Amino acid sequence: AQKVTQAQTEISVVEKEDVTLDCVYETRDTTYYLFWYKQPPSGELVFLIRRNSFDEQNEISGRYSWNFQKSTSSFNFTITASQVVDSAVYFCALSAPNTGNQFYFGTGTSLTVIP
Amino acid sequence: EPEVTQTPSHQVTQMGQEVILRCVPISNHLYFYWYRQILGQKVEFLVSFYNNEISEKSEIFDDQFSVERPDGSNFTLKIRSTKLEDSAMYFCASSEAGGDRGENEQYFGPGTRLTVT
């Protein structure tokens, strides 16, 4: 069975601080995909990143970076120099061909960036 | 940039009524999905659809739910007799291909907020 755990329910940081959102996943599949989505107060889901299980290379995109470690089944997301516009709920998700490519979402981490 | 659209943005209905939520996936996408998010909770998979039939469904997707692609562009979710607990945000998503081809990025629509009173 697939499972995604986001242990941090809510995080508050002061603007310009760095923040890391944790994601731990469980799967027995060797081929799988990991995702991060942002859900701002308006409610839509905004795609941030996809990683496949064969690519452990970390990625940086502007102020965002992702650390994928298969050894610990983690796919953590760091925002550097946080801004008020980063305030949102962030979801980590997993999908795998063996389970029909449906997304298994974590429970989300609500990030509040205080000006 | 192509996007998934959903209508209406907000639907209010009385318990026991039928509702149809509409989605227009990205035009060259072949895989379609519905997800549900009860307020303050995680996003949950309902159903996936490919080649004009359901490919996967969750235990949430019971006989009260059905999906249809009535024409070449729309993808609908019908709830036959709504219950209070159906109140949620419903997201439609589409992808160009399935995960076995590595192109599994699902694009989500903005959601329809369903309120059952």
How far apart CA A92 and CA A101 sit, in angstroms, is 15
Q: For B59-83, how does the pLDDT look when each residue is reduced to its tens digit (9 = 90+)?
A: 999 999 999 998 878 999 999 999 9
| Regions of chain A with pLDDT less than 50 | none
Chain A residue whose CA is closest to B95: A101
Chain B contact residues (CB < 8 Å to A): 31, 33, 35, 41-45, 48, 55-56, 58, 89, 91, 93, 95, 98-100, 102, 104-111, 113
- Reply yes or no on whether the pLDDT at B97 is more than 90: no
Mind giving me the DSSP string for A44-109? --EEEEEEETT----EEETTEEEEEEGGGTEEEEEESS--GGG-EEEEEEEE-GGGTT--EE---E
Helix (H, G, I), strand (E, B) or coil at B101: helix
Q: Which are the contacts of A99, defined by CB distance < 8 A and separation ≥ 6? A: A2, A29, B56
| Average per-residue pLDDT for chain A | 93
Look at residue A55 in the predicted model and tell me its pLDDT: 85
Which of B23, B41, B106, B108 to probe by mutation at the A interface, max A CB count within 10 Å? B106
Q: Under a CB-based contact definition with an 8 Å cutoff, are residues B23 and B32 in contact?
A: yes
Q: How large is the average pLDDT for residues B101-111?
A: 75
Closest CA to A58 of A43, A49, A68, A48: A68
- Reply yes or no on whether the pLDDT at B101 is more than 60: no
Residues of A with CB below 8 A from B44's CB?
A: 105
A-B CB pairs within 8 A amount to: 66
